[in-house]
Structure 1
Amino acid sequence: MDQEELIDIVSQKIRLIRLEKEFSQEEMSKILGISKKTLIQIEKGRVAAGWNVVVTCVALFEESEILQNGLGEDSLEIVRLVTFNQIEQIVMKTMGGKIWWKEVEKRGEYKLQQNVVSQHFRIIDDSNYRWFSSFELEEAMLHLKYLEKKVEK
């Protein structure tokens, strides 16, 4: 997934998110920092939302079922991945991936998982802390091997 694809997905979902949260177009436009006219154009599919609008929408409505159905359980992680290409840090404790994730490989205390919606990969430890995220399987496998060797030392 790249920035353009993320913009398309969120642009297509903005109206549904607004309805899910029971906001008027006036309220939603103020929340997103755009004019009501621009919001209407986005909702009708005439224009795509700008990057700042997409990031704002994802950040403010990350718990939205509509957004999660389009991006998976951690939509902010998708924004970070699209922005930085990969994440190599312990971010936060996850729920372990029981719903949105399938296990690709396990090595020692680390599991490589793939998101069933966005198709991106992450590595979590046995305590469910996320250590790495990427859209590239090869990068994720290399990082999994690195973490495995680091633990062996």
Structure 2
Amino acid sequence: MNREQLITLVTEKLKLIRTEKALTQDQMSDLLGLSKKTLVQIEKGRIETGWTTAVAVCALCRDSTVLQHELGGDPLEVVDLIANHGTLQPKEKTMGGYIWWKNLSERNGYRLQQNVISNHYRILDTNNYRLLSSFDEQIAMQVWEKL
């Protein structure tokens, strides 16, 4: 996934996300720092959100089941990956990847997984801490081989 794809996805799902959060157009436009007129134009498909608005939606609505389903998990992880050109190495606790992840390989308690929706890769340690996230398969495999 890249910036343009995320912007398109947020643009297409914004009204659904707003209704899921039980927000009026006035409330949502205020939350995002947009005019109501701009929000209406986005919801009608006349204009796209910008990168900043897409990021704001992902951050402020990160618990949205619509966003999580469309992105295969935490929206901010996808934003962070895109903003950092496809690779992260945070040590962050995960749920272990039982919903949106398929195990590609497992050894010594480590798991190499791929997200079934966004297709990015990650490596988890024995306690489900994320050692790496990347859209780049080569980078994921290089780190995997070093473990």
Provide TM-score, normalisation by structure 1.
Answer: 0.92
State the alpha-carbon separation in 1 of the partners of residues 57 and 135 from structure 2.
Answer: 22
User: Equivalent residue for 2:42?
Assistant: 42
State the alpha-carbon separation in 2 of the partners of residues 106 and 48 from structure 1.
Answer: 41
State the alpha-carbon separation in 1 of the partners of residues 90 and 61 from structure 2.
Answer: 24
Counterpart residue type for residue 6 of structure 2: L
Q: Hey, which bits of structure 1, 4+ residues long, moved more than 2 A?
A: none
SS at match of 1:89: coil
Cα drift, residue 107 of structure 1: 2.6
Cα drift, residue 103 of structure 1: 0.4
User: Equivalent residue for 2:119?
Assistant: 119
SS at match of 1:99: coil
User: Equivalent residue for 2:82?
Assistant: 82
Does 2:42 correspond to 1:4? Answer: no
State the alpha-carbon separation in 2 of the partners of residues 88 and 55 from structure 1.
Answer: 20
Cα drift, residue 47 of structure 1: 1.0
Q: Which range moves more in the overlay, 25-34 or 102-111?
A: 102-111
SS at match of 1:17: helix
SS at match of 1:96: coil
SS at match of 1:117: coil
SS at match of 1:142: helix
State the alpha-carbon separation in 2 of the partners of residues 101 and 65 from structure 1.
Answer: 16
State the alpha-carbon separation in 1 of the partners of residues 118 and 61 from structure 2.
Answer: 17
1:97-108 to structure 2, matched below 5 A, reads 97-108=97-108
User: Equivalent residue for 1:15?
Assistant: 15
State the alpha-carbon separation in 2 of the partners of residues 63 and 117 from structure 1.
Answer: 17
Q: Deviations over 1:89-147 (max 9, x none)?
A: 31x2100001110001113232110111111111111100001011111210111112x
RMSD: 0.9
Q: Deviations over 1:34-54 (max 9, x none)?
A: 111111111111111011111
Percent identity between matched residues is: 49
Counterpart residue type for residue 107 of structure 1: R
SS at match of 1:111: strand
User: Equivalent residue for 1:25?
Assistant: 25
State the alpha-carbon separation in 2 of the partners of residues 41 and 112 from structure 1.
Answer: 42
SS at match of 1:54: helix
Q: Deviations over 1:19-65 (max 9, x none)?
A: 01111101000001111111111111111101111111101111111
Provide TM-score, normalisation by structure 2.
Answer: 0.96
CA contact (8 A) 1:107 1:144 kept: no
Q: How many residues align?
A: 146
